[in-house]
Amino acid sequence: MSQPAQRELRLPPAPRQQTVELLYRTLGDVLVPIEQVRARYFRNLNEDNFTRALNAGRVPLPVTVLDTSAKAPKFVDIRHLAIFIDARSEAADATLSDTVANQP
């Protein structure tokens, strides 16, 4: 008897506690409406482009809904947002480090 294939468990790195605390103080809740996330951190994208970026994975933020209704409000967990911000910050640090190391 063979077992069904299991999905791979992918755990993201834990966010820095300082990032989560600052986001909570700034945004005021654990779940933040996606429109508020877009307006604050993705001002360069309009609502449609932001939705497309989320759906395509270009902005890798899991979207949380608390109801099964098609019109249910959509949220982003601040821990996921903190992981995203921390990852982008680390990538920027690595890029700067490479740039400085390659200068004569």
- Let me know if residue 89 belongs to a domain: yes
- Let me know if residue 22 belongs to a domain: no
pLDDT category of residue 16 using cuts at 50, 70 and 90 = very high
- Let me know if residue 55 belongs to a domain: yes
- Let me know if residue 52 belongs to a domain: yes
pLDDT tens column, 19-38: 999 999 999 999 999 999 99
C-beta separation of 15 from 86 below 8 A: yes
- Let me know if residue 36 belongs to a domain: yes
Q: How many domains does the chain have?
A: 1
For 55, the domain range is 32-95
C-beta separation of 76 from 62 below 8 A: yes
Q: How many CB atoms lie within 10 A of CB 100?
A: 8
pLDDT category of residue 39 using cuts at 50, 70 and 90 = very high
The closest of 19, 17, 56 to 41, measured between CA atoms, is 19
pLDDT tens column, 48-83: 999 999 999 999 999 999 999 999 999 999 999 999
More confident residue, 59 or 98: 59
Complete edge-to-edge strand list for the sheet that includes strand 64-65:
31-33, 74-77, 64-65
- Let me know if residue 10 belongs to a domain: no
